[in-house]
Amino acid sequence: MSQETLEYHWGKHHRGYVDNLNKQIIGTELDEMPLEDIIITTYNKGDILPPFNNAAQIWNHDFFWESMKPGGGGKPFGELLQLIERDFGSFEKFVEEFRSAASTQFGSGWAWLAYKANRLDVGNAENPRPSDEDKKLVVVKSPNAVNPLVWDYSPLLTIDVWEHAYYLDFQIRRPDYISIFMEKLVSWEAVSSRLEIAKAQATEREEEEKRKQGEKEVGNSDNEAVKMYVDSKSDDSEAE
């Protein structure tokens, strides 16, 4: 990835998103919010509000720079590699799927490796205990500024496939850009540490939900006890 590309991509495009978002949110309630909250709020369940594009693109580009390092590439290690092999069959099959997503994202967008922690909401039924296999790695692609945060996934790795990301260096040859990214730029350390955080968050959430579920049940049995007192007339008449 050439210096010229970085100068424009980071210095002009990314910076532009920052400047524009600041202008858009000044004096609004969005101004107080953390970036991720701005993104979710302005995504507005798909009915996108104007600040979304700038906010999400800021986040996406931060995430993209940190997904790379000089002298990157190679293979992942440790638990990340294990999960990749579990969920894709092999590292090579993961790479295949990631490259495919990146090259078939039509128009502008991004390809992602994300950690998806299934949160099964089954309404009135008791939540089944989620097994580890429900928490899995997935490859997804997204158009323009959309990112997996809006789907409640935890992004682990991304590649920018807007034309501005590769046009100076590769022109139309997006597949070559994707290859170089995988072979020379990916920071598997960054991906690994993001995975750790994602897993910890998923566990925390699970425990939070279990706690809430427990509280609800206690609340229900309290209500039943109150009902009993109200229905019984014997105490009242004795008091009088």
Partner 1 sequence: MAIRPLLSRTLGLTQTLTHSHSHSHTLTQLRGLQTFSLPDLSYDYGALEPAISGEIMQLHHQKHHQAYITNYNKALEQLEDALAKGDSSSVVKLQSAIKFNGGGHINHSVFWKNLTPVSEGGGEPPHGSLGWAIDTNFGSMEALVQKISAEGAALQGSGWVWLGLDKVSKKLVVDTTANQDPLVTKGANLVPLLGIDVWEHAYYLQYKNVRPDYLKNIWKVINWKYASHVYEKECP
Residues at the binding site for Mn(2+) are 9, 61, 160, 164
Contact between 65 and partner 1 by CB under 8 A: the answer reads no
- The stretch among 10-18, 130-138, 152-160, 208-216 that binds partner 1 (CB under 8 A) is 10-18
**Contact positions with partner 1 (CB under 8 A) in 205-224:** none
Which x/- pattern, by CB under 8 A, does the window 157-176 give for partner 1?
-----xxx--xx--xx----
Q: Which is nearer to partner 1, 107 or 123 (CB)?
A: 107
Which of helix, strand or coil describes residue 116?
Answer: strand
Closest distance of CB 162 from partner 1, Å = 7
Beta bridge partners of 135: 117
Pull the structure tokens for residue 136.
Answer: 């899995």
CA distance 102 to 67: 15
DSSP state at residue 18 = H
Is the distance from CB of 39 to CB of 59 less than 8 angstroms?
A: yes
- Among positions 53, 147, 154, 187, the unique one binding partner 1 when judged by CB under 8 A: 53
DSSP state at residue 74 = S
Q: What angle do CA 80, 117, 121 make, to 5 degrees?
A: 170
Which x/- pattern, by CB under 8 A, does the window 101-140 give for partner 1?
-----xxxx-------------------------------
Question: SS3 string of 130-144?
Answer: CCHHHEEEEEEEEEC
Q: What angle do CA 106, 110, 20 make, to 5 degrees?
A: 105
Contact between 18 and partner 1 by CB under 8 A: the answer reads no
Contact between 144 and partner 1 by CB under 8 A: the answer reads yes
- Where do contacts with partner 1 occur on this chain (CB under 8 A)? 8, 12-13, 16, 53, 106-109, 143-145, 162-164, 167-168, 171-172
